[in-house]
Amino acid sequence: MGKYILKRFIYAVIALAIIASVSFFLICMKPGDPIVAKVQQLPDSSRQVLIAKYGLDQPMTTRFVEYMKGLIFEGNLGDSIVYEGRTVNMLLKTSAVVSAKIGLIAIAIQVVIGVLLGIIQALNREKLGDQIIRVLVVLAICIPTFVFCALLQYFVAFKWKLAPIMGWGQPIHYVLPVAAYSIPGIATYSKYMRTSTVGVMGEDYIQTAIAKGCSQRRLVFRHILRNAILPIVTMVPVAVGNVFGGSMVIERFFSIPGMGQHYVKAVSDSDPYLILGMAIFFALMYIISLFFVDILYGLVDPRIRITKNAR
Amino acid sequence: MEANSKLIFESDDFEVVGTKGLDAEKISKPSITFWSDVWRRFRANKLSVVGLIILVLVVLMVCFGPMISGKDYQFIDYNMKNIKPNGTYWFGTDEMGRDIFTRVCYGGRISIIIGIACTVVSFIIGSALGGIAGYLGGVVDDFLMRVIEIIGSIPYLVLIVILSFVLGRSMFALVFAMTITAWTGTARMVRGQVMQLKQQDFVAAATALGASPARIIVKHLLPNTLGIIIVNLTLSIPSFIFSESFLSYIGLGVQPPETSWGALASLYQTRLMFDPYQLFFPCLMIVLTVLSFHLIGDGLTDALDPKLRK
């Protein structure tokens, strides 16, 4: 197991290094002068000062080495060019918490409701309730997030006045974004949970449990749930890793000062280091989550551990 | 019971009943090809047929809608702004007095074309590389799988946003950005299939007859993975339509004057409180299209691979 984890860890580091360097060169190769966007009216002398400050007069490789040094030894993800004195790390400090709060609450809701719905569906297979939920699940998967945002905002906030239309700061502001974030996930989790529960219910050990006189409650919680939840368990870390970059639409819709919002804004501002730093952060989070998934898989299913080691 | 007790039968104990004039060698039913069999099974699934009908209607509307309405999607008329849906303006007009029906049709063309283009590109790359990796195995396979693993560990929205920043906001850039990660899924799937198939006897036979690896992949292995590829095709078109609408929605996708369903939704979202119908129509089209592809995909899964059916 130790060897397997080490191997996965090395892959994760290599992947991250490749992503960081490729993004750096991609972003820096973009034609056009990032300073121009900021200071069109400034005289040439101030321009030169700025260019020197951000090292834009250096060749790309020198900048790359400088950036990587800062990244690895100081954890400095870069400075904004458009906004004087703003760094990616500062932005992350304030906005990552916001995105994480919304995302984590939403994921908790998704998992709990999704798993419950899936089990209830599987236990009442092909009955009316199951059919209705299945139709709703298919619909929910086919509806883009911004449509949920629009529906919630229009009905819950505008027509029924149950929550503020947008904004950030008070607990009530969580309601709509979290709801919009949760719905597609609930649908996905309940779909997977239903399939996997149905699969588990066909296994021999469930027959054995019934035959030895297991109570319904014990059967569901000890025997079915424990086995059927495995695919969900491996899906959750990826969802958590995606929390920071995955809510761009929701944050934009409800004007929430989260990371997604800042990322999109950095792109429309053409702020290269801001984009780069945030992209590296997103990738880091995602890769960490994939690393956990790999370990989880290894723990859950020994066969994977062996075959991957054999390579 | 008396007949049962008789143990020895003479030839005149038997009588030929009703086969006179029939040719036993003749095939009475027309032979069914693979595809007509698929179609027969597909038709049996009512929901999938509904999906197919919805899709055909959407495509017809998107193709011929502007001709029927006879309006231009860029024509601005400030006297006619924010009109609710009526006989002249079937979906109403927007803030600049443009006919929403015509705009939705034009936007749909872009959305669907992008969906199909991305799917085609990612499937060509994915099945070629997946086929090679699966067939050759060894170092090539290892290398390609590592590449796929690394590409797969980039959060794909983040990459799309970077690429749309670097490449500018053209249609080409959009398709490129969306396919650069998407092909990996196809490649994995085709590789898995090919690895299973290449153990089978018909591949050994082809090799023995001196067929080149390229011929074996193209002629023997890929056609046998076609079923699964087609199902994945039908399911990947809606996911590209989804991504496109998402990107256009946050302003990084299709740029004006061109438009797409996502771009329209983004534009009309500002009028949500006053004229919700404006946002409703592009969203409805996205949902209908994606839903129809999902229903068709479900039906095709059953129709193409009877083994999967319970």
In this structure, the number of other CB atoms found within 10 A of the CB of residue B156 comes to 19
Structure tokens at A94: 């304030």
Q: Does the CB of B46 have a partner CB in chain A at under 8 Å?
A: no
User: Per DSSP, what are the bridge partners of residue B99?
Assistant: B93
Q: What is the CATH number of the domain that holds B235?
A: 1.10.3720.10
Subunit contact A241:B155, Cβ cutoff 8 A: yes
User: Per DSSP, what are the bridge partners of residue B93?
Assistant: B99
pLDDT digits (tens, 9 = 90+) for B85-103: 777 777 878 877 788 888 8
- Which residue, among A8, A267, A293, A308, would best test binding to B if mutated, counting the most B CBs under 10 Å from its CB? A267
Rounded CA-CA distance B41/B133 in Å is: 33
- Assign A2 a pLDDT band (cuts: 50, 70, 90): confident
> B269: nearest CA in chain A?
A150
Hey, which residues 102-161 in chain B have their CB within 8 Å of chain A?
142, 149-150, 153-155, 157-159, 161
In this structure, the number of other CB atoms found within 10 A of the CB of residue B182 comes to 23
Which pLDDT score is estimated for A33? Answer: 65
Q: What are phi and psi of B99, to 5 degrees?
A: -75, 120
Which pLDDT score is estimated for A310? Answer: 40
Rounded CA-CA distance A283/A68 in Å is: 15
To the nearest whole angstrom, how far is the Cα of B202 from the nearest Cα of chain A?
Answer: 28
Is there a domain that residue B80 lies in? Answer: yes
Is there a domain that residue B31 lies in? Answer: no
Q: Give B-chain residues touching A268 at CB under 8 angstroms.
A: 251
CB environment A273-284: b (16+ within 10 A), e (fewer)? bbbbbbbbbbbb
To the nearest whole angstrom, how far is the Cα of B71 from the nearest Cα of chain A?
Answer: 27
- Which residue, among B149, B158, B184, would best test binding to A if mutated, counting the most A CBs under 10 Å from its CB? B158
- Assign A116 a pLDDT band (cuts: 50, 70, 90): very high
Mean pLDDT score across all residues of chain A: 82
Q: Give B-chain residues touching A286 at CB under 8 angstroms.
A: 153-155, 158
Q: What is the number of domains present in chain B? A: 1
Which pLDDT score is estimated for A153? Answer: 87
Rounded CA-CA distance B172/B178 in Å is: 10
**With the C-alpha atoms ordered A43, A45, A49, A52, is the resulting torsion angle positive or negative?**
positive
Which pLDDT score is estimated for A106? Answer: 93
To the nearest whole angstrom, how far is the Cα of B226 from the nearest Cα of chain A?
Answer: 25
| CA atoms in the 13 A half-sphere facing the CB of B278 | 23
Q: Between A26, A138, A249, which is nearest B250 by CB?
A: A249
pLDDT digits (tens, 9 = 90+) for B291-308: 999 889 888 887 877 565
Which pLDDT score is estimated for A183? Answer: 92
Rounded CA-CA distance A139/B288 in Å is: 10
Is there a domain that residue B7 lies in? Answer: no
To the nearest whole angstrom, how far is the Cα of B250 from the nearest Cα of chain A?
Answer: 6
Per DSSP, B306 falls in state G
CB B282 within 8 A of CB B264: yes
**E strands within B33-152?**
none
Is there a domain that residue B279 lies in? Answer: yes
- Which residue, among A146, A149, A153, A158, would best test binding to B if mutated, counting the most B CBs under 10 Å from its CB? A146
Top pLDDT among B235 and B95 is at: B235
Q: Is A82 helix (H, G, I), strand (E, B) or coil?
A: coil
Q: Give A-chain residues touching B111 at CB under 8 angstroms.
A: none
Q: Report, in angstroms and rounded to the nearest whole number, the Rg of chain A calculated over CA atoms.
A: 24
Which pLDDT score is estimated for B22? Answer: 64
Which pLDDT score is estimated for B56? Answer: 94
Using alpha carbons, list the distances in angstroms from residue B301 to B234, B306, B309.
Answer: 10, 8, 9
DSSP code per residue over A13-64: HHHHHHHHHHHHHHHHHSSS-HHHHH-SSS-HHHHHHHHHHTTTTS-HHHHH
Pick the closest to residue B92 from B108, B71, B109 (CA basis): B71
Rounded CA-CA distance A285/A124 in Å is: 38
Using alpha carbons, list the distances in angstroms from residue B64 to A243, B69, B86, B108, B283.
Answer: 41, 9, 19, 11, 20
Helix/strand/coil percentages in chain B, nearest 5: 70, 0, 25
pLDDT digits (tens, 9 = 90+) for A207-261: 898 899 888 888 888 888 888 888 888 888 888 888 877 788 888 888 888 888 8
CB B127 within 8 A of CB B229: yes
Pick the closest to residue B120 from B52, B169, B183 (CA basis): B183
**E strands within chain B?**
none
Subunit contact A141:B294, Cβ cutoff 8 A: yes
Subunit contact B242:A246, Cβ cutoff 8 A: no
List of residues 6+ apart from A117 with CB closer than 8 A: A133, A186, A189, A190, A193, A194
Q: Give A-chain residues touching B161 at CB under 8 angstroms.
A: 263-264, 267, 275, 279
CA–centroid distance for A254 within its chain? 18
Amino acid (1-letter code) at residue B251: G
Give mean pLDDT, residues A89-113: 89
Subunit contact A267:B164, Cβ cutoff 8 A: yes
pLDDT digits (tens, 9 = 90+) for A11-35: 888 888 888 888 888 888 776 666 6
Is there a domain that residue B10 lies in? Answer: no
Range of the domain at B96: 44-308
Q: Between B149, B161, B242, which is nearest A267 by CB?
A: B161
Give mean pLDDT, residues B70-95: 77
Which pLDDT score is estimated for B253? Answer: 79
pLDDT digits (tens, 9 = 90+) for B25-67: 777 777 777 788 888 888 888 888 999 999 999 999 988 888 8
Give mean pLDDT, residues B6-17: 76
To the nearest whole angstrom, how far is the Cα of A256 from the nearest Cα of chain B?
Answer: 14
Q: Residue B309: pLDDT above 50?
A: no
Beta carbon pairs, A and B, within 8 Å: 113
- Assign B1 a pLDDT band (cuts: 50, 70, 90): very low
Which pLDDT score is estimated for A38? Answer: 60
CB A19 within 8 A of CB A27: no
CB B132 within 8 A of CB B217: yes
Is there a domain that residue B36 lies in? Answer: no
In this structure, the number of other CB atoms found within 10 A of the CB of residue A250 comes to 26
Is there a domain that residue B49 lies in? Answer: yes
Which pLDDT score is estimated for B308? Answer: 53
pLDDT digits (tens, 9 = 90+) for A147-160: 888 888 888 888 88
Rounded CA-CA distance A199/A227 in Å is: 10
Is there a domain that residue B273 lies in? Answer: yes
